[in-house]
Amino acid sequence: MICKNCSNEFLDDFRFCPHCGHPAQLKRIDKNYFLDELAQLFNLEKGILFTIRALLTKPAEHIRIYLTENRSRYVKPIAFLIITSVLYALFNKFLEFEKKAIKFETNETDIPNFTEIVSENYEYFSILFSFLTALIVRLFFRKYPYNFFEVFVLQCYLHGVEMLISLFFGVLQSILKVEVELTSYGFLLGFIYTFVITAQFFDKTKIISYIKSLLASILSYIILLLIIAISVFTYYVFFR
Ligand SMILES: [Zn+2]
173, part of any domain? yes
Give the closest residue to 166 by CA, choosing from 201, 122, 197, 133. Answer: 122
Residues with Cβ < 8 Å from 33, sequence gap 6 or more? 27
Considering the domain boundaries, does residue 114 fall inside one?
Answer: yes
For residue 82, give its domain range: 58-238
Question: What's residue 101's pLDDT?
Answer: 55
Task: For residue 23, tell me if it sits in a domain.
Answer: no
Q: What is the pLDDT of residue 41?
A: 85
Cβ < 5 A residues, ion ligand 1: 3, 5-6, 17, 19-20, 22
Q: Which residues contact 162 (CB under 8 A, 6 or more apart)?
A: 190, 191, 193, 194
Q: Give residue 13 CA to ligand 1 midpoint distance, Å.
A: 14
Q: Is residue 51 part of a domain?
A: no
Q: Ligand 1 centroid vs 9 CA: distance in angstroms?
A: 8
| 73, 50 contact by CB (below 8 A) | yes
Going from the Cα of 1 to the center of ligand 1, the distance in angstroms, rounded, reads 10
Whether 21 maps to a domain, the answer reads no
Q: Give the number of domains in the chain.
A: 1
Task: Check residue 198 and give its pLDDT.
Answer: 97
pTM: 0.81
Give me ligand 1 centre to Cα 29, in Å.
21
Say if 37 falls within a structural domain: no
Cα 232 to middle of ligand 1, angstroms = 49
Half-sphere exposure at residue 84, Cβ-oriented, CA atoms within 13 angstroms? 28
Q: Tell me what pLDDT residue 184 has.
A: 85
Q: What is the whole-number distance in angstroms between the Cα of residue 27 and the centre of ligand 1?
A: 16
CA of 31 to the centre of ligand 1 (A): 26
Residue 25 CA, ligand 1 centroid: distance in Å:
12
Mean pLDDT of successive 10-residue stretches along the chain, which has 240 residues: 92 92 90 89 87 96 95 92 92 79 51 64 86 96 96 97 94 83 88 96 95 96 88 81
Task: Examine residue 190 and state whether it is found in any structural domain, yes or no.
Answer: yes
Query: Quick check: is 230 in a domain?
Result: yes
